[in-house]
Structures are given as structure tokens and as C-alpha cells.
């Protein structure tokens, strides 16, 4: 993994691009290891998830957590925030950290980077966890809730 590269995506790119560019410029030789992709088209996500060593999604608040679920479905280990819906979605199939803790981010990255067995374990757990979710189950739950037949 000596040739590790970070791909940064996100739909709110314009809001933080100036600050991000300044921080990246200060990284010396490492700045060439960061690809600033911005918005990633849905058609390209599976290839990125499948080829990634791990996926980081540490948002301050998340309504559901579809990106970590998509990553797990592609066999990609995840690091997510330990807040809002993310623990319910990811369960024990990822590393959970405080979204705003640099120390916890670094420890989680080091954990995956230095422990291929952990990455493999989380790949397997993520694939199993992702099978618990489907659009059919979601539609059935919504219909049953609307009709008052929720279990």
C-alpha cells in the first residue's frame, strides 16, 4: 500500500474548496497523493468502492447513511461517525469514531492501514450487514407503516 492515494468526493465541494486547497498545498510531496474528485457520478461509485482499501464517511449528522451501506455492499471496509443513523446502518461492520476527532480519524486510518486482517474481517462483515437492507424491504416497511400494519 505504499502507493496509497486519497480520493476526496462530495457534493458540497465549492463550500470548502479554498480551505482544502490551502491545506493540501501545505502537505509537500504528499499533496500528489490526493485526488480532489468532487461530485462522483452514481455509475462510478461501485468501481471506486470496490477498489478502495477503505471508505471514510464521518458526517456531523446523517439521515440514513446510504454511502457507507453502498461501500459495504461492494466489500469496502468503512469508517463512519458514531452518531445519528450511522451506527444502526453499519452495526459492527465498520470502525465508528467521533466525526470531529482528528485523533480518532488518525487511529482508525492507522488501524486499517496496518492491519490487513482487520480490513478482510470488515469486508466480510460489511457484505453480510449490507444483505440486511434492500429496497424491497424498505418499500414493504413504508407501505405497512402507511397502512397501519407495522410490526
Full DSSP string of the chain: -TT--EEEE-TTHHHHHHHHHHHHHTTGGGGGGEEEEES--HHHHHHHHHH-S-EEE--S--SS-HHHHHHHHTT--EEEESSTTHHHHHTTSEEEE-TT-HHHHHHHHHHHHH-HHHHHHHHHHHHHHHTT--HHHHHHHHHHHHTT---
State the pLDDT at residue 70.
96
State the pLDDT at residue 86.
96
Within a 13 Å sphere around the CA of 87, how many CA atoms are in the beta-carbon half? 8
Instruction: Report which of residues 148 and 106 the model is more confident about.
Output: 106
Give the angle 54-95-99 at the CA atoms, nearest 5°. Answer: 95
- Beta-carbon contacts of 47 under 8 Å, excluding residues fewer than 6 positions away, are none
List, for residues 5-46, the tens digit of each pLDDT value: 888 876 565 667 777 788 888 888 888 888 888 788 999 999
State the pLDDT at residue 95.
98
List, for residues 72-129, the tens digit of each pLDDT value: 999 999 999 999 999 999 999 999 999 999 999 999 999 999 999 999 999 999 999 9
State the pLDDT at residue 114.
96
Q: What is the pTM of this model?
A: 0.84
> Confidence class of residue 63 from pLDDT cuts 50, 70 and 90?
confident
> Confidence class of residue 68 from pLDDT cuts 50, 70 and 90?
very high
Q: Which domains does the chain have, with CATH numbers?
A: 1-40 (no CATH), 54-146 (3.40.50.2000)
State the pLDDT at residue 26.
84
Q: Which is nearest to 55 in space by CA: 89, 17, 26?
A: 89
Entry field: residues in the chain: 151
| Statement: residue 150 has pLDDT above 60 | no
Amino acid at each position: 500500500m505504499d502507493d496509497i492515494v486519497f480520493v476526496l468526493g462530495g457534493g458540497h465541494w465549492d463550500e470548502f474548496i479554498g480551505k482544502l486547497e490551502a491545506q493540501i498545498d501545505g502537505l509537500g510531496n504528499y499533496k500528489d497523493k490526493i485526488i480532489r474528485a468532487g461530485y462522483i457520478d452514481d455509475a462510478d461509485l461501485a468501481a471506486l468502492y470496490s477498489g478502495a482499501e477503505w471508505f471514510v464517511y464521518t458526517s456531523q449528522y446523517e439521515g440514513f447513511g446510504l454511502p457507507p451501506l453502498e461501500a459495504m455492499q461492494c466489500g469496502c471496509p468503512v469508517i463512519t461517525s458514531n452518531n445519528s443513523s450511522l451506527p444502526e446502518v453499519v452495526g459492527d461492520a465498520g470502525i465508528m469514531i467521533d466525526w470531529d476527532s482528528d485523533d480518532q480519524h488518525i487511529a482508525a486510518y492507522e488501524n486499517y492501514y496496518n492491519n490487513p486482517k482487520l480490513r478482510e474481517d470488515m469486508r466480510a462483515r460489511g457484505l453480510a450487514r449490507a444483505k440486511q437492507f434492500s429496497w424491497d424491504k424498505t418499500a414493504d416497511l413504508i407501505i405497512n407503516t402507511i397502512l397501519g400494519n407495522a410490526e
